[in-house]
Amino acid sequence: MKFKDLLSGFIRLHILHHAAEHDIYGQWIIDELARHGYKLSPGTLYPLLNAMEQRGYLKSRKQRKGRTARKLYRATALGRKGLALAKVRVKEFTGEAMKG
């Protein structure tokens, strides 16, 4: 993905946004991010999810249906707090960046 280094923060915010609304899992968030123009492979996404969990922004649990196991992620209180702050900062930035 072009400009990955600049856009990686938006990817994390998208993940937190959805994980604050409901449980998410890897393929679902890959598909959701693709709708917004972000193309991530599982090899990029899963280390990102693991890092966000290690930092305390996400919490995971395993869900088993028959022979299939899925890891579900949900935003923690810290993740929701960080998301709220990020929304304020993004709003400030877009207000400034969209002038003139």
Residue 57, pLDDT score: 98
Amino acid 1: pLDDT: 64
Please give the pLDDT value at position 99: 82
Count the neighbouring beta carbons within 10 Å of the beta carbon of residue 47: 10
Retrieve residue 76's tokens: 């923690």
Residue 49 CA to residue 67 CA, distance in Å, equals 23
Q: What is the pLDDT along the chain (100 residues), one digit of tens a residue?
A: 677 778 889 999 999 999 999 999 999 999 999 999 999 999 999 999 999 999 999 999 999 988 888 999 999 999 999 999 999 999 999 988 888 5
C-alpha to C-alpha distance for 92 and 84, rounded to whole angstroms: 13
> What pTM does this model have?
0.89
Confidence at residue 4, expressed as pLDDT on a 0 to 100 scale: 77
CATH 1.10.10.10 for the 4-98 domain, yes or no: yes
CA atoms within 13 A on the CB side of 15: 29
Burial class (CB in 10 A: 0-12, 13-18, 19+), 73: buried
> What residue ranges do the domains of the chain occupy?
4-98
Nearest to 63 by CA among 8, 26, 10: 26
